[in-house]
Amino acid sequence: MNEIVAVYEDSEHDYRRETEKALEGAAEEIGAALRLTRRTAGMEAALALEMNRKLPSVHNALLRGEIDHHRAKVLVDSTLHVHPDTARKVVDTILPEAGHLTTGQLRSRIAKLRIDENPADALNRYEWDLDDRRVVVEANPSRREAPMDLSVSPWRPVHLCERGESL
């Protein structure tokens, strides 16, 4: 996959100008070769591109068999939103033990390392998440309204529903 993405980056579809075309072309070939759906092939192409451009140490560890595809995906996905330098520091710290951790343990340790590496960014993300909290109420199969907790304290909507108050 990485080789296909690299070819499309260097080909007539200049990645900087035609990102979507390059990624689509790579995804089409990946999908055909591995018999994947268009969506899955696109995700695989994007993963390969991130590894090649931002986290080459993950790509190398994957090639050496130190980590599997699932752990590589966790390493990439868990560092997508941070600065490339921070992502590389976090990955380089966790990579030696990544093959011995479950994907859940890996995700948790990466989150802690991101906070340690850049506390200001972690605080900004936390405050942004607080501002983005909401409660959604949808009908459940019994046709009663049921609150869906999305980043709010679970006790607030439950307490309001028990008292019969509107959300």
Quick: pLDDT tens for 93-115. Answer: 999 999 999 999 999 999 999 99
Residue 3 belongs to some domain of the structure: yes
| 56-65 contacts at long range (C-beta below 8 A, 24 or more positions apart) | 57/88, 57/91, 57/92, 57/95, 58/91, 58/95, 59/2, 61/95, 61/98, 61/99
Residue 73 belongs to some domain of the structure: yes
User: Residue 13: which pLDDT band, with cuts at 50, 70 and 90?
Assistant: very low
Where in the sequence is the domain holding 152, given as residue range(s)?
A: 134-162
Residues 94 and 108 in one domain: yes
* Average pLDDT over every residue of 31-57: 91
Lowest mean pLDDT among 6-20, 26-40, 67-81, 113-127: 6-20
pTM above 0.85, yes or no: no
Residues 34 and 96 in one domain: no
Residue 154 belongs to some domain of the structure: yes
Read off φ and ψ for residue 149, nearest 5 degrees: -80, 120
Residue 103 belongs to some domain of the structure: yes
- Two tokens, residue 154: 């679970």
* Average pLDDT over every residue of 2-26: 64
- Number of structural domains (the chain) is 3
Eight-state DSSP code of residue 95: H
CB of 64 within 8 A of CB of 53?
A: no
